Amino acid sequence: MTGKQLLDDCFLHDKDRLRHHEALEILKQRLHCIAETETVPLQDAAERILADTVTAPRNVPLADNSAVDGYAFRNADFEEAGGFFRLEQRIAAGHASNADLGPWAAARIFTGAVMPPGADTVAMQEDCETHQQDGQDFVIVPQGLKTGANRRKAGEDVAEGTTLLNPGQRLRPQDIAAIASTGQADVSVYRKLKVALVSTGDELRRPGDLITLGDVYDSNHFLLRSLCATLPVEIDDLGILKDDADALEEVLSTAAASHDVILTTGGASRGEEDHMLKVLDKIGKRHMWQLAIKPGRPMMFGNIGSCVVLGLPGNPVAAMVCFLLYARPVFSVLGGGAFLEPQAFQVPAAFEVPKKKPDRREFYRAYLKPRPDGSLAAHKFQRDGSGLITGLREADGLIEIPEDVTSIRKGELVSFLPFSGFGLR
């Protein structure tokens, strides 16, 4: 914990239900990085958020080298040598030659080996012929090779002094490889956020526990824990809390003192047994609640001291949608990254919605299937219930329908947000 104040305590809104873009704007305005930094070995840096600029201290590759197994020669000698070169050297990767290549001479060279001084072109071995004459090895090189063919130049991938990566970037496998190619063994990253995960509800049981009529297994805990695994956070499981306001207040107060974020699921609606809202208003500050979206209307955002509180709905579909749209970018910003927003692309609808409620943004579970012409169309999961995990399993992503759209006809273009854009498979 850093003790930094995260939110503007004077902030209030007077709308019953916030639109999706308004909710995003609130989050963007009220949050900033709270994570401290640490240096980790490169092998432990994958998926972490970079804290310092990474600059190449040297050229990559360090020297001109061969891109193929073949024969290195000076292209300017080709005409005079008639493509007939004397073999002078043999150069393997990791064994650079300091000897200049003589006139009308070539070197047997292997992929990745440093070019001998004077050589500028490499002929692929399968295009060449070798033979021996009077005890001397020769190679016949084919015509038509341009100067520099099959040669990688020093700094061709990365030039010395080039900025490779900037702070705030999530380190992907290809980024780790780029850093490693410069010889850097460790990297400065932001520390993982400490997140308390809380489920609420008298009816909840953990898998493996005995279940009776009226009980429900706590799938949301495992859903959210798995979603958090795609982000640089550490999860502290606070278990299942009963529908008891005093007990909830005690647990949240204690958790807020030792965590960066409290992530809850359930208990965020208006029911008599839904205590999250009242407890947050009592011991903290509420900055967002009741969104004009479906699913996910009771999404809640606030703080207890310097700890952010994210209250997700209890239904699993709504919990996942709200996590992807709101919690995921919150975690990224607090942890030093960018505000993550999914990239949508337009695809024709393979379904119809005769009537949609206006002034509400809706997110349908959907999957893509090819049409007869090979193009992709979006298919909507038939059942809309927010408790149906089956729809999440069968979906490839979400279809986003804006507030002003009141119906959808088959063939109309709709915005498709693939789960892959949220870091999921």
Which residues on adjacent β-strands are paired with residue 85? Answer: 139
CATH 2.40.340.10 residue spans of the chain: 345-422
Is 91:74 a contact under the CB 8 Å cutoff?
Answer: no
Is 49:189 a contact under the CB 8 Å cutoff?
Answer: yes
Q: What is the pLDDT along the chain (425 residues), one digit of tens a residue?
A: 444 555 544 344 445 789 999 999 999 999 999 999 999 999 999 999 999 999 999 999 999 999 999 999 999 999 888 899 999 999 999 999 999 998 999 999 999 999 999 999 999 999 999 999 888 999 999 999 999 999 999 999 999 999 999 999 999 999 999 999 999 999 999 999 999 999 999 999 999 999 999 999 999 999 999 999 999 999 999 999 988 999 999 999 999 999 999 999 987 666 655 688 889 999 999 999 899 999 999 999 999 999 999 999 999 999 999 999 999 999 999 999 999 999 999 999 999 999 999 999 999 999 999 999 999 999 999 888 888 999 999 999 999 999 999 999 999 999 999 999 999 97
Is 160:57 a contact under the CB 8 Å cutoff?
Answer: yes
How many alpha carbons fall within 13 Å on the CB side of residue 141?
A: 31
Task: Among 2.40.340.10, 3.90.1180.10, 3.40.50.720, 1.20.1730.10, name the CATH number for the domain at 345-422.
Answer: 2.40.340.10
CATH 3.40.980.10 residue spans of the chain: 20-36+192-334
Rounded CA gap, 350 and 414, in Å? 10
Rounded CA gap, 366 and 11, in Å? 36
Residue 299's Cβ-count burial label (10 Å; 0-12, 13-18, 19+) is buried
Percentages (nearest 5) of helix, strand, coil residues in the chain: 20, 30, 45
Query: How many CB atoms within 10 Å of residue 251?
Result: 20
For residue 6, the model assigns a pLDDT of 56
Helix (H) or strand (E) holding 54: strand 54-55
Sole residue written with tokens 């503007």: 8
For residue 1, the model assigns a pLDDT of 46
**Two tokens, residue 263:** 């992530």
Is 278:244 a contact under the CB 8 Å cutoff?
Answer: no
Rounded CA gap, 394 and 257, in Å? 40
CATH 2.170.190.11 residue spans of the chain: 65-152
Can you give the pTM of this predicted structure? 0.88
Is 198:262 a contact under the CB 8 Å cutoff?
Answer: yes
For residue 116, the model assigns a pLDDT of 97
Residue 56's Cβ-count burial label (10 Å; 0-12, 13-18, 19+) is buried
Residue 206's Cβ-count burial label (10 Å; 0-12, 13-18, 19+) is middle
Residue 288's Cβ-count burial label (10 Å; 0-12, 13-18, 19+) is buried
Is 354:407 a contact under the CB 8 Å cutoff?
Answer: yes
Concatenated DSSP letters for 172-239?
-HHHHHHHHHTT--EEEEEPPEEEEEEEE-TTEE-TTS---TT-EE-HHHHHHHHHHTTSSEEEEEEE
For residue 251, the model assigns a pLDDT of 96
The domain over range 20-36+192-334 is classified in CATH as 3.60.15.10: no
Q: What is the CATH number of domain 65-152?
A: 2.170.190.11
List the one residue out of 107, 147, 114 whose CA is nearest residue 128: 107
173 φ, ψ to 5°?
Answer: -55, -40
Rounded CA gap, 396 and 339, in Å? 22
How many angstroms separate the Cα of 203 from the Cα of each of 210, 225, 274, 322?
12, 20, 13, 22
For residue 267, the model assigns a pLDDT of 74
Question: What sections of 323-364 are H helices per DSSP?
Answer: 328-334
Torsion of CA 149, 150, 154, 159, to 10 degrees: 90
